[in-house]
Structure formats: structure tokens, C-alpha cells
Amino acid sequence: MGRAGKRDLITEVPGERFDTTQFVDPGMPRPGKSYTDAGGFLTDIAGFDAAYFGISPKEAAQMDPQHRMLLEMAVEACDGAGVAPASLAGSDTAVFVGISDNSYGALQMLAPEGINAYTMAGAASSIAANRLSHFLDLRGPSLIVDTACSSSLVALVHACQTLLAGTSRTALVGGVNVLLSPYHFVGFCQASMLSPTGRCRSFSAGADGYVRAEGGGVVLLKRLADALADGDRVRAVIVGSAANSDGRTPFYGVDLTALLHQPDLAARQFAEVAGLIRSGRYRPLPHSVYPASRIDEAFRPMQHSRHIGKVVVAFDPLDEPLTVERRAAAPRLDPQGTYLVAGGLSGFGAASARWLADRGARRLALVGRRGGDSPEAPALLAELAERGVGAVVHAADVTDAGAMRRIVAEADAAGHPLRGVVHSAMHLDDAGLTDLTDERFRAVLAPKLAGGAVLDEVAGAGPLDLFLVYSSAAAVGNVAQSPYVAQRQTEVEHAGDTLPSATDYPRG
């Protein structure tokens, strides 16, 4: 431990804490990963003179290093105050310790074969305070405080109150923290709380999160009059201390409907909020301004799920001129054409049928193996009929090229040629690789791949308004979704190509 002076002690996570290659990915926040490995780390958290504290090496190995550090720091605090530790034995001295991380114990629990008689006491945060009372034979209250980042300060408030109440004449107060668990880094990153640039810049416009660090401290407190009477070395005097909570954090609710109908209300509410901000009760959100010509930069922090307050896009006439590409309008569909939806009688397929109807389609061919027996079918068909959409239900397998050709030919013959295809058919069967049989694999792949190929073939070269294919964003690592991974890979490989022939794929 040693003095930091003015040196920047933030470094990368040392190798002995945890494997950063497994848990850290600075690219972007994603499940199971931390986007930073920056922290303030002590050089030696394992070293401990167990014999000095009358603790066996076997027990010491099970003790949270935070307990070990607290014992060492308590002795140093007594030395610093000029108080012989032995002189406190049997006294009503209180112990309050701020501590909020119990990773050492939690990580040990992951290897149950290493658990022994000392593990529970070594892992329990409460024992962190009790060890000091035990070693120094202190009889006052002995407890820990966990109020997250404020733990040691709140512990100090309790100590002051105890001294002022007169129930203890001396108090040992401390706080300690070590960073052993990768999971905490991951969790705080998922909440975008850690600084991606690895530096705390509190109160600065460049502040982008906090940086975790290790450390500890213990002080010995007495009422000033007692310390002076005892001839102790007084290093500082605490003038006052208090703890409170913000309760329910205030927010300003606005009823948008009321606002629309009462223009005066907006002015009144603005004035009210301005008053709250002036009084300091509310603080305006920090905001970053981006010129419209660089709007892509405005999206970047949002993409990284960074809570940066407000993003303002400014349209400045003196700024670089904007080139805005006109967005293609959603297709207006042909009321005389037929739109075929494979898997159209449930889930996304049914939603697609409704979407097609919204855009003007009046003739739908809805395909599913169960046809009208699909549970969602009756409600969907009733709704479409009410909206004046003629939906023909086909009980057919999308991999059956003959059946699909007949459906298209039937629509043609009725004077309503095929104008669009939605492929939403799928067979769900999640299973781990070891449980998969060829048959199960085929059943999943068939509607997606062979079905897609069949639809491509029957759509032919005729003009289509759309050919929409639903996919699965499954990738390697999706537990139990190996067929989807395989299917997705095939789709990716053929993206933009004409789909291969139906015969290239197994049929269900």
C-alpha cells in the first residue's frame, strides 16, 4: 500500500485477479462482458502475517483478504493514535466497518470441494467487524455497514453517534474494498456505470462514468475531550456527521394530453421547472450538441448504451449543407395482386398478413401445414374479412414445390397474380447439439431453407412488390439453438444471391 502522491495509479486488471481475455471486450457493452478493465489495484492483497493475529494458515487462506487488511489496518490505527492495542482489551470500544463486496466468498463457493470449516466465517461480511473485536477483545457493538459506495462514511456516522451517546468511549471505524470478481465489472458495465475511458472525471463535462478501486482505512475515534484527557495523538476533529436518504428521487411528471389541450399549462409548467432548477432541487440533464451534418456521431453514444443525458442535433444554417437521402416510401400494394405468406397463420406471419392489409393488399394466400386449424387462424381470418381482405387458407407444406406451384397457379387463374411473398414459416425445436438427431436438424432446417428455395422458385421472374424473409439472429453461443445457427449461417452465405435450388436442402 504506500502513498499515491500525485501519481495516476489506475491500471489494467492484474492477471491474478481474473482472466480479462474472458470477461473484457472494449468494443461495446454486450452480455457477459465488461467494456473496461481499468481500476485502482493494490499490489499485494494476499500477504498477511497470520501468526501475529493468532490465526492458523489454514484459516487465513479462507479469510476474505478484506478481513485480513482490516486487522492489519486496525493495529496501524491504534499505533497512529498512540493507543496500545492491549489497553483496549475488555473496553466498550465499538467497531463499525463499511464493506460491500463479498466476492472472495462467492468465488470460493464456485469450487465446493475447497470449502472447509473456516469458509463461512471467512466469507461472511459481518465477521469483518467481529474479527477486530475478537482480536482486540473489544466489548462494544461490532457491526458492518453496507450502503454501497458510502459504506465507510455511514459507518463513521454510526461511530460518531455511538460516541456522542456515550455508550462507547472509543470506536474503531474502517472501510475496505478489493476487486476480485469479474462479474462486478460486467454488471456495472451493463448499467453503463463505468468510465469507458478508464478515468473518473467527477464534476467535469468530460465525465463518462466511474472507475473502481481497491483500498482501505481504519481510524480510531474518541470524543475530543476523552482523547485529550488520555493524551492521545489527535490527527483530526470531526465537526459534524449525518446520514440521510433521498427517498423517492423527485421527477417532474407531465400529462401530455393535458398539455396539448391547455397551452397555458405548458408556460406554467416551464416556469415551475425553471424555479426548481434555479433552487438547485433539479439539475438539468447534461447535453451534447451535434451539428446535423455529423448526426451519425450523435447516435454513437446511444449505440453504446451510454447514459449521457440529452443529445441535441443542431441545424445551423452556417454549418455544412446537409445531404438528406429521401427514404423509399413503404410500398403501396396492389389490391388485385396476391400476397403469399408462408407461416401466415400465426406469429410474425399473422402480423405480416395484417401489415400487408394495412398497406393495401386485398388478397392473401396464407400457408401453414395445419391450415385453418392453427389456433390463431380464426381470429386472424375474422379480422381480415372485416377489413375487406380476401384471405385464402392453404393447408400445405412450404417445402412442397408442387403444392406451392398450385397455390400460385390458382391465384393466377383467378386473375390475381402473385405480387409478393413473405416467408415466415418455421419449426421450433431448441436442443443442445448432443440431443440433436439428423431428423430433428432436418425438421428445423427444412421450412426455412428448402421452403425459402421453393418460394424463390415459384415466385419466378414476375414483378414482385416484396419478398420478405424472416430470419433468426442466432449465432454460435446461443445455447440449444444450434439448428438456427446453422440455418442462419446458410442464409448469411447466400445473402444477396439467388437461393440455391430446393433440392440442395433436406426435406422434413
Ligand X SMILES: NC(=O)c1ccc[n+]([C@@H]2O[C@H](COP(=O)([O-])OP(=O)(O)OC[C@H]3O[C@@H](n4cnc5c(N)ncnc54)[C@H](OP(=O)(O)O)[C@@H]3O)[C@@H](O)[C@H]2O)c1
Binding site for ligand X (CB under 6 A): 342-343, 345-349, 367-370, 374, 397-399, 424-428, 447, 451, 470, 472
Residues 6 or more apart whose Cβ sits within 8 Å of residue 20: 12, 13, 37, 182
Q: Which is nearer to ligand X, 312 or 428 (CB)?
A: 428
Q: Is 36 left (phi over 0), alpha (psi -120 to 50) or beta?
A: beta
Question: Among residues 184 and 427, whose Cβ is nearest to ligand X?
Answer: 427
Q: Residue 216 or 447: which CB sits closer to ligand X?
A: 447
Compute the least distance from the CB of residue 9 to ligand X, in Å: 46
In the complex, minimum distance from the CB of residue 342 to ligand X, in angstroms, rounded to a whole number: 5
Rounded alpha-carbon distances, angstroms, from residue 504 to 363, 404, 427, 446, 470:
31, 18, 19, 11, 20
Residue 224 phi/psi, 5-degree rounding, is: -55, -45
Query: Which residues touch 433 (CB under 8 Å, ≥6 apart)?
Result: 482
* Element (DSSP H or E) covering residue 392: strand 390-395
Spatial separation of the C-alpha atoms in residues 191 and 209, rounded to whole Å? 10
- Residue whose CB is less far from ligand X, 10 or 351: 351
- Rounded to a whole number of angstroms, the minimum distance from the CB of residue 399 to ligand X is 6
Q: Work out how close the CB of 423 gets to ligand X at its nearest, in angstroms, rounded to a whole number.
A: 7
Q: Give the nearest residue (CB) to ligand X.
A: 347
Nearer to ligand X (CB atom), residue 347 or residue 500: 347
Nearer to ligand X among residue 70 and residue 401 (C-beta): 401
- Work out the number of other CB atoms within 10 angstroms of the CB of residue 167: 12
User: Cell for 206?
Assistant: 468530460
3-state DSSP call for residue 367? Answer: strand
**Contact present, 339 and 411 (Cβ < 8 Å):** no
Distance, in Å, from the CA atom of 279 to the CA atom of 294, rounded to the nearest integer, reads 35
Shortest distance in whole angstroms from residue 463 CB to ligand X: 25
CB nearer to ligand X: give 97 or 345: 345
Q: How far is the CB of 477 from ligand X (least distance, A)?
A: 16
Cα separation, 397 vs 406, in Å, equals: 12
Cell numbers that stand for 481 in this block:
439453438
Please check whether residue 210 is in contact with residue 70, taking contact to mean a CB–CB distance below 8 angstroms. no
Considering the complex, state which of residue 33 and residue 369 has its C-beta at the smaller distance from ligand X: 369
Minimal distance in Å, beta carbon 446 to ligand X?
6
Q: How far is the CB of 473 from ligand X (least distance, A)?
A: 6
